[in-house]
Structure 1
């Protein structure tokens, strides 16, 4: 018996020696709620005030955690709800440095985002429990602190207050067979349609008249789109009148919203083009204005990009797609397209550069590689030119055109220095020839008679086999008629020289016949 008592005492001593470190640790260094502080602004722990959130919406809480101890603390989060319609975005674990950390590592703010399901009626009593687990890194002790959030749902899908009521407000007191909710539904839809028709047929053309006098341009698309848009916007409320299933209401509202976005984009495009054209036309009439209708392609391109991207993004958001992942994928695809379409992009950006720098405008005359062209139209990808005979349209890619040396003959004014070459026989009086030619030029209606452009000049150019090659240099009134003026000036020059008895030399070829017995042509 004594041996048993000794053995039992020995066992108790050994057990005490084994658990003594843990017992001491728990009493002295174990983590406690005094080692940290958890606070949520405007949030009462004892008397919870529910936050009202709409269906399909989210709410956020800011949770502040401060380390008051001298140890490093690991913080982990978990969450659950007493209802199925509340979810949250999980939080990543964090580490808090000891109190007094110079880099403020002893303090952290986390944002708790709670989501409410889309297809639910108004409900109360929803609770979300956030569990904050804090562990001491040194001794592995930990503690758990719960934070409770109360959520009440104010759903837009409630049908109880709108059932069998006109416009969801006026009760249907009609007698059978008109007492069914179908009558208020049809009356409400028809009234909204007529209201939209009134807006499209009267108000919109009335407003558009102050921008452009031609109201017919707006009576088509806008008058048809306005009633459809009005019905689509009201469709969800109308379905509540007949107490339609919530899932069906949500699905129909999504499709109606998508159609509404597309119609709104179409109407917005018409209005955008109208405003841009009107503004650029008015600006083009202002003297020295940097903007005119030639900038329309740039504004058109920007408008299309904004409307397409905005409309597609909005529709995808309505159907719950993750736009972040889509944008990342679109960035990779765009990079691949950019690498594969460098030539096309070069044309595009050169077109934008031509429109912005304005080296020439529509109607200007250009000299490219000693050929004369007239600018017909400047596009984003190419520029259309016509030759001096106006018998064909030449399309230059903008990247090719931007690399050429271009002389704009119409940049400052439309005058042009013309050079007419002609010949006189050897031995003629050059002073007399010069006087005759200058007198003819001074009387010509095709030349500019202004000293700032210089006077007509006659110069000796070359000694040719047939005679002396001379040139008349004078300023023509309008470069756009250069070819016709050149032809008429040559006629006037020929007549003036002929009247003065000066004949233009030309090459002569002597032809003779070989006779059998007669002399040869070389014999004279």
Structure 2
């Protein structure tokens, strides 16, 4: 019974074109099965997951898998029928190059789809996403370099001179654009260290204060309370001292200093200052406002009122309103807000008039 089967196989081997047609048909069936598995079965499985990243991966995967099956079948056919042909190696290298290009394009599309999904998720969560485009572009460059290396390797092209030339060109480019590279690495440092976020109120080492409206790779933009947009290079942002008034806790403590006369009752002063805070709804009840007696001044007792607010951007307006209410309440309670006083008296000494000037408790003499 096996003899007819063996004879049929010998007949097929004697007719390579018929065997090629059979091989092509088998390849098409395998490609259809692969496409069905990736397009129907696995797609139904990944649809049950909560993330959409695996959907993007699968959507781009069944195409390269189908193409790879067809190209691999062509390699088998070339290996069988063109064994003694001189141009067989060129065709094989060409097919391998196509396979590398197909999978490089697939990985690039998959990377873009993944990072696009991540950016959409960060946009929905209103969180910082400035580092994602940078990582996306770096991965794309690495994938293109990896694909190019394998294509050169397939065609037996020596990449050592190209790498040496690229190294020299990179060194020259780095020297020519060191400020740009400093800003670039500074931007990466700021985005990775995350000292502030969009919407935070920060104060720089030179005293500039404002709201962070944009964090880029090259620079950071700050909108001051005067509605002036300041662009600060990231090389400076990564080295200067930054005070983040917003911080991790969404509140900010403001300080209001006031001086009262030496004859004032400390308990009355403290109660009046706390009463001024109760009339402003923007002042947070927790932590509670507090009053501190700081020092004995030259002409006044210096107090400081400490109160917490939610938005640092309201600091200027709330200090204005708080000072206004403190002044009105002090006038109602009869609490004196002193100002520097100067007393001048003249006393004759040896035919001359001696002037004594008393300023805030100090006494100075002048001859007139």
Instruction: Give TM-score scaled by structure 2 length.
Output: 0.63
Aligned counterpart, 2:32: 194
1-structure distance, mates of 2:78, 2:290: 86
Equivalences for residues 49-448 of structure 1 within 5 A? 171=12, 180=18, 183-184=21-22, 186-202=24-40, 205=43, 209=47, 210=49, 212-213=51-52, 216-218=55-57, 220-240=59-79, 243=82, 246-269=85-108, 271=110, 296=132, 299-300=135-136, 302-368=138-204, 369-375=206-212, 378-379=215-216, 381-387=217-223, 396-420=232-256, 435-442=271-278, 444-448=280-284
**Residue 408 to residue 233, structure 1, CA distance change in 2 (3 Å):** farther
Q: Within 2, Cα distance between the matches of 1:251 and 1:394?
A: 59
1:461/1:471 contact within 8 Å kept = no
Higher relative contact order (CA 8 A, sep 6+): 2
Q: Which has the higher strand share?
A: 1
Inter-CA distance 489–343: structure 2 relative to 1 (3 Å threshold):
closer
In structure 2, distance between residues paired with 1:461 and 1:253: 92
Deviation string for 1:214-259 (max 9, x for gaps)? 6653454333333223323332123456658744443233233223
C-alpha distance in structure 2 between counterparts of 1:400 and 1:423, whole Å:
39
Q: Which has the higher helix share?
A: 2
> Whose Rg is larger?
1
Mapped to 2, the partners of 1:184 and 1:220 lie a distance apart of 30
Aligned partners of 2:11 and 2:30: how far apart in 1?
15
Cα distance change, pair 473–230 in 1 and its aligned pair in 2 (3 A): farther
Between the aligned partners of 1:173 and 1:307, the Cα distance in structure 2 is 45
CA distance in 2, matches of 1:490, 1:216: 56
Q: Which deviations, in whole Å up to 9, do the C-alpha atoms of 1:316-370 show, x marking residues without a partner?
A: 1011101233322322222222222222221232233334444334554321243
Structure 2 contact 276–325 (Cα < 8 Å) conserved = no
Deviation at 1:471, TM superposition (A): 8.1
Report Cα offsets for 1:127-167 as digits up to 9, x if no partner.
Answer: xxxxxxxxxxxxxxxxxxxxxxxxxxxxxxxxxxxxxx9xx
> Aligned partners of 1:384 and 1:182: how far apart in 2?
63
Match of 1:482 in 2: 312
CA 333–200 in structure 1, closer or farther in 2 if over 3 Å, else same:
farther
Secondary structure at the residue paired with 2:243?
strand
SS in 1 for 2:290: coil
Q: Which 5+ residue runs of structure 1 have no aligned equivalent?
A: 1-164, 283-291, 506-524
Residues 220, 234 of structure 2: 8 Å contact kept: no
Structure 2: tracts of 5 or more residues without a match: 1-8, 122-127, 338-368
Q: In the aligned structure 1, how far is the partner of 2:90 from the partner of 2:327?
A: 91
Check conservation: 2:245, 2:312, Cα contact below 8 A.
Answer: no
Query: 1:356–1:311: structure 2 CA closer, same or farther, 3 Å change rule?
Result: same
Query: Does the 8 A contact of 2:246 with 2:312 survive in 1?
Result: no
| Residue pair 1:189, 1:238 contacting (<8 A) in 2 also | no
Distance in 2 between the 1:226 and 1:308 partners?
20
Q: Secondary structure at the match of 2:240?
A: coil
Q: In the aligned structure 2, how far is the partner of 1:171 from the partner of 1:389? A: 86
Query: 1:366, 1:406 → 2: CA distance?
Result: 7
Distance 1:195 1:386, change over 3 A: farther
Change (3 A) 1:492 1:345: closer
CA contact (8 A) 1:376 1:386 kept: yes
SS in 2 for 1:360: coil
By how many angstroms is 1:392 displaced? 8.5
Q: 2:22 and 2:71 mapped to 1: Cα distance?
A: 17
- CA distance in 2 between partners of 1:326 and 1:376 (Å): 43
Q: Given the two structures, how large is their TM-score scaled by the length of structure 1?
A: 0.47
* Per-residue deviation, residues 199-226 of structure 1 (Å, max 9, x unmatched): 5424664575557246653454333333
